[in-house]
Amino acid sequence: MSQRPGFPAKLPAAGATRTTRSPVVGLAKPSLAAHGLQPARALAAPAVAATAVDSGPLRARMVSKLAAQGLQDPMVLQAMGTVERHRFVETALAVQAYEDTSLPIGLGQTISKPNVVARMIELMREGVSGKLGRILEIGTGCGYQAAVLSHVSREVYSIERLRGLHEKARENLRPFRLSNVHLLFGDGMVGYAQGAPYAAIIAAAGGDAIPQAWIDQLAVGGRLVAPTVNASGRQNLVVVDKTATGVLRSELEAVHFVPLKSGIA
């Protein structure tokens, strides 16, 4: 595989406003309306109370299980062992946070299994030794995967179409002070052209086809990983590599993600 794009990929052309960062999580502000995106109001106080979970041993055990299941990328395993997953779920579910299971996060959405998160990020990073450049995440959810991505890439743009989850992700991520994460409220199906080209794109929802906007915003040499519904009506993980002459598509194992939808709510 050819060398994947590094950092930084070129930001908006001259005359466009640069992104700004909040004190905790970078919130991209330039010309959002033109891309169907809206910045959320700033949260007044850094308030996510730590639960009583002693997660160090639990995270170590989770990572050991991931390695036993075949995950091999050291950077991905380290990131999975660093991010405290219990901080992204309701307190009542904290004791289940490090089991290999999906958990509800509200509004009919779930946080993906650790194995699925690690698998998709490892696929996205395949053939890359250091950190990836700029990444686009479709579907912020509770913010957990964005936090993991922040450890394996230079910059993360993450889009969420449900305002309630967008606000929840901001609150969850605030204490981590991840200056390389930018949260956007908007329609993920149109991507975020102002941050393109992206070294990689990862989606947490599956539709009948991969939107052309994502392909267009992927850098040459970049990789896209997303669930997609196949001809039999089942979801499978799909990997798309963009080359100078076109795209190469590979269909992998069956998965189960929430449906990909357009618009905001």
Residue 60 maps to a domain = yes
Q: Find the CATH number of the domain harbouring 117.
A: 3.40.50.150
Cβ–Cβ under 8 Å, residues 156 and 9: no
Q: Which amino acid is at 179?
A: S
Amino acid at 236: N
Residue with the larger pLDDT of the pair 52 and 246:
246
CB 221 within 8 A of CB 74: no
**Residue range(s) defining the domain that contains residue 179:** 21-39+54-254
> What tens digit of pLDDT does each residue of 12-27 get?
333 333 333 333 344 4
Q: Is the pLDDT of residue 248 over 60?
A: yes
242-257 average pLDDT score: 96
> What is residue 155's predicted lDDT score, i.e. its pLDDT?
98
Question: In total, how many domains does the chain have?
Answer: 1
C-alpha neighbours within 13 Å on the C-beta side of residue 62: 29
Q: Binning pLDDT at 50, 70 and 90, where does residue 38 land?
A: low
pLDDT tier, 29 (very low <50, low <70, confident <90, very high otherwise):
very low
Please tell me the number of Cα atoms within 13 Å of 57 on its side-chain side.
Answer: 3
138 three-state secondary structure:
strand
Is 63's pLDDT higher than 50?
Answer: yes
Q: Which pLDDT value is given to residue 232?
A: 87
In a domain, 162, yes or no: yes
Q: What is the predicted pLDDT for the residue at 141?
A: 97
For residue 54, is pLDDT > 90?
A: no
Dump pLDDT digits (tens) for 193-245: 999 999 999 999 999 999 999 999 999 999 999 999 988 889 999 999 999 99
120 in any annotated domain: yes
Best CA proximity match to 239, nearest among 10, 7, 62, 1 = 1
Residue 5 is assigned to a structural domain of this protein? no
| 147 within domain boundaries | yes
Q: Residues 154, 124: contact at Cβ < 8 Å?
A: no
Q: According to the model, what pLDDT value does residue 144 have? A: 98
Q: What is the pLDDT of residue 34?
A: 43
Q: Which of 12-16, 60-64, 258-262 has the highest mean pLDDT?
A: 60-64
Token output for 208: 């009948």
**138 lies in a domain?**
yes
Q: What share of the chain is helix, strand, coil (3-state, %, to 5)?
A: 30, 30, 40
Residues marked active site are found at 112
Long-range contacts at 226-232 (CB < 8 A, ≥ 24 apart):
226/138, 226/201, 226/202, 227/203, 227/255, 227/257
Give the pLDDT mean for 73-95: 97
Average pLDDT over every residue of 69-77: 97
Report if residue 48 sits inside a domain: no
In a domain, 163, yes or no: yes
